């Protein structure tokens, strides 16, 4: 079974500051990991994904995440926050192989606020 | 290309009534997934359907919940005799091919917020 813990239900940063959203996972098999973003009144949009290739993954809108197996972490970062980054962010995990790898398991989400 | 559509966006039902949630996948997508987000929880997988087939319903409550994806028309998530504990956001996702393939992506709709009074 897989699980995801997102530390901090609400993160607030100033425009231009570093964004760091934390995600730790638990998985009994090698995982695939994802970050999704949800803007108000919209569906979840895939930001980036780790699928056992490079451990540093680059996504859309300047975001990136690093898979650290020893720390069971997949933290999301962006060097400089923009007002348009304000949204809710979800980390998700699924098994990397075998059956049922369509079953995404999500964290509770982190609401990012960007202050001018 | 329109994204995944869900309606209604907000649904209010009294205890004991039925709730029907609709999901129209992206054009060309024949695989649909339903997830539920209870208050203060992450999204949880409920069911995976292809056209006219339920592939995996292991996340569905055993009673009162059912899902279908007919040959024509949207996928429907049906909740009979709703209770207050059914209040949640229900998200639908779709993919163009079987999601068991590696690297496949699920495209999500905006969700339906169900409130049971």
Q: Does A43 contact B111 at a Cβ distance shorter than 8 Å?
A: yes
For chain B, positions 56-115, list CB contacts with chain A under 8 A.
Answer: 56, 59, 91, 93, 95, 98-100, 102-111
Predicted pLDDT at B16? 97
Mean pLDDT of B85-107: 80
Predicted pLDDT at A99? 67
Tell me whether the omega of the peptide bond preceding residue B8 falls within 30 degrees of 0, making it cis: yes
Distance CA B89, CA A7 (A): 22
Distance CA B49, CA B93 (A): 10
Average pLDDT, chain A: 91
Distance CA A31, CA A70 (A): 13
B10–A contact, CB cutoff 8 A: no
Distance CA B93, CA B105 (A): 9
Predicted pLDDT at B101? 58
Q: What does DSSP say about strands B10-13 and B112-116: parallel, antiparallel, or unpaired?
A: parallel
Tell me the pLDDT band of B10, cut-offs 50, 70 and 90.
very high
Per DSSP, the three-state class of A9 is: coil
Residue A29 has pLDDT above 90, yes or no: no
Percent of chain A with pLDDT over 90: 72
Burial label, A22 (beta-carbon count in 10 A; 0-12, 13-18, 19+)? middle
Task: Encode pLDDT of A88-109 as tens digits.
Answer: 999 999 887 666 778 899 999 9
């Amino acid at each position: 079974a897989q699980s995801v813990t997102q530390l901090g239900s609400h993160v607030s940063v100033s425009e231009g500051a570093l964004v760091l959203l934390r995600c730790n996972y638990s998985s009994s098999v090698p995982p695939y990991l994802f970050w999704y973003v949800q803007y108000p009144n919209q569906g979840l949009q895939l930001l980036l994904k780790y699928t056992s290739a490079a451990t540093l993954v680059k996504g859309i809108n300047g975001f990136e995440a690093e898979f650290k197996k020893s720390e069971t972490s997949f933290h999301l970062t962006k060097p400089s926050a923009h007002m348009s980054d304000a949204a809710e962010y979800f980390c998700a995990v699924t098994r990397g192989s075998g059956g049922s790898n369509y079953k995404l398991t999500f964290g509770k989400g982190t609401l990012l606020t960007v202050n001018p | 290309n329109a994204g995944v559509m869900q309606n209604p966006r907000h649904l209010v039902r009294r205890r004991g009534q039925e709730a029907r949630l609709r999901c129209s996948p992206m054009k060309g997508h024949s695989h649909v997934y339903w997830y539920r987000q209870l208050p203060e929880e992450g999204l949880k997988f409920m069911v995976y359907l292809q056209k006219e087939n339920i592939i995996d319903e292991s996340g569905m409550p055993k009673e009162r919940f059912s899902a279908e994806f007919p040959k024509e028309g949207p996928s429907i998530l049906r909740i009979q005799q709703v209770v207050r504990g059914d209040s949640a956001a229900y998200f639908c996702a779709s993919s163009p091919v079987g999601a068991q393939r590696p690297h496949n992506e699920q495209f999500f709709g905006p969700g339906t917020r169900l409130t049971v009074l």
